[in-house]
Structure formats: C-alpha cells, structure tokens
Amino acid sequence: MTEKRVIVVGGGPSGLTAAYFLAHAGVAVTVLESRTGVYDDPRAATFHPPTMEMYESSGVTKRLHELGIICPRWQFRGREEGVVAEFDLGILSDVTSYPYRLQCEQHKLVAVLADLLAAEKTCTIHYGATVQNVSDSRQGTNQNPNDSVTLTVESNENTLLGKTSETGLIIYDPNRVTINPDGQIVLSIHETNLEGHQRLTAKLKGMLGDIGLHDKLMHRSLYLGKDIPIGGTAHQAGTVRFGRDPKTSALDINCKAHDLDNLYVVDASFFVSIAAVNPSLTIIANALRNA
C-alpha cells in the first residue's frame, strides 16, 4: 500500500476507540482483528465519568446509556457485614455531567464502535486477520523515508490488500523503560489526563474545607496533594515482551521463555499496558492459566 495510515492490531474496546477517533480526525486507519467478527464476550462492564465524557461527542455515550444501567452509588460489601461503605457519586455533579457509574458490558461498546466505523470512509476493519510478526527496518534517528515497519498478517480474506504484509505508521507510546549507555535504567513518563486530575484535586480541596480539614491537607507532599514522583511509581508492568517470534520477544504467548523449557514469567512484566486499578487479580488469573 502506498498511503500513510495507522494500523491498529486488535478490534477490542481500546483498539476500536483509537481507530474511531483517528478516523474521525481524517487519519486513515486499518484495524486487524484475529477473531472472525465482533466478539460477544460479557467482560468488564463499568464506565466511569471521564470515559463517558470522552465518548460524548461521538454519540457513543448516548448509545451506552440506552444499553446500560446507571448506578449512582458505589458500595463496598463484606460477605458477613453487608454494606461496609457507600459513596454517593452525585457529589461530583458540579464537575461532570455524569456523576455516576454506568454498567454496560464492554462487548456492547465494541459493537457500537464497529457500527460507527462502518460509516467512516478512512477506516477498514479486517476480521480473521492475525498479526504473526512485526519487523522494523528503521535505524537510529536518521531514518530513510523508504524504511518501514512491516506487519506479516495471516488472513482468511483473499482481499486483504492482495498480500500478506502491510506497511504503515505505528504509534509508539513515549512511556517506556530503557537503558542508557552507562547501563542505568531510565524510566520515561509522559503525563496524560492532567485536566481530570486537576478537577479531582480541586474537588478534594473543596470537600476538606466543608468538614474543617482544609488546613490539614499537606500540599504537594503526599499522594492526594500531587502526583507520585518517579521514584515512587507503583503497579509497574512490562519490560518482558511476549509473542510468537523469539527474535522480537523473550516469552511465548504462554509466558514461557523461548529458550528455556522450565522458565515461565507470570508476574506483571509481560503486560503490554497497565490498567487504572491493581493488577494482582490479572496476575493471579494468568498464573493459573499457565499452571
């Protein structure tokens, strides 16, 4: 292919969200999904206010409300105690139009996004297309414009661009761990969603004043007063890539070292990204899967 485009591997909630906003901005996008269609898999089902705000302009938020259930309160329950604590999310009504959680399975979001993308002329979704390998001919900072990132794709579609490899643009996340020439580990952080963080911080300060604790807030010294500094990062994930090709990954798809039959890495280091909540249950589930 000759045009510049973004290739998104995976047609799940994250992949189709990225594809929609890129296509809506006029960027050519190809989505490669290994499954043969939209997967009806009722997994995680909670949408928080920032997510609904992000989808609002696209019409997705309105559609999710038609399919989901609004939950204005957030409860912690014990098996014997019942309700231990309850939070009324209505207190956020002055900072968001969605002061509640919306319960709607993520596979419904995928279906909504797929319908929207079907109307986008700059986006194409290929189902049954499995990415087998990624190769990068670019070297250093002085890159040849003819160099490229190539994806080798196994597809059941004879019309997949008439070939089994596709070249395009891949977005590289600046958040990464590298080793400098002196052998020191460098953790690079690019902050995102600062606007939401600032709104929540302002809300916290206002609430503390109402209960007489405003003077007790230790500004810019603890977690609630500022971001955790780079030396105090938590929920670390990544650094050990997994995949099918030993040349580009350390682990296979079952988290076993390519070169050793008795070495499995089942902590968070194989994660390709980290969620906004504790990763322990995902680590446990994957460890049980590989046991």
- Segment 105-115, tens digit of pLDDT: 988 999 999 99
Distance from C-alpha of 51 to C-alpha of 141, rounded to nearest angstrom:
36
Other CB atoms within 10 Å distance of the CB of residue 167: 19
Q: Do residues 103 and 71 touch, judged by C-beta distance below 8 A?
A: yes
Mean pLDDT of 45-54: 90
pLDDT at 65 over 90: yes
In this prediction, residue 40 carries a pLDDT of 74
Q: How many angstroms separate the CA atoms of 110 and 281, rounded?
A: 24
Q: Does 226 score more than 80 pLDDT?
A: no
Instruction: Mean pLDDT check: name the lowest of 77-91, 165-179, 263-277.
Output: 165-179
The pair of three-digit structure tokens given for residue 192, joined into one six-digit string: 């995102």
- Mean pLDDT for the stretch of residues 227-243: 72
Confidence band, pLDDT 50/70/90 cuts, at residue 102:
very high
- Token digits for 264? 């499995």
Number of other residues whose CB lies within 10 A of the CB of residue 98: 20
* Distances 195 to 67, 191, 198 between C-alpha atoms, Å: 29, 11, 5
User: pLDDT by residue (tens digit) across 134-155?
Assistant: 766 655 545 555 545 566 666 5
Instruction: Tell me what pLDDT residue 39 has.
Output: 74
Mean pLDDT of the chain: 77
Task: Determine the average pLDDT of the residues in 272-281.
Answer: 75
Higher pLDDT, 277 or 229: 277
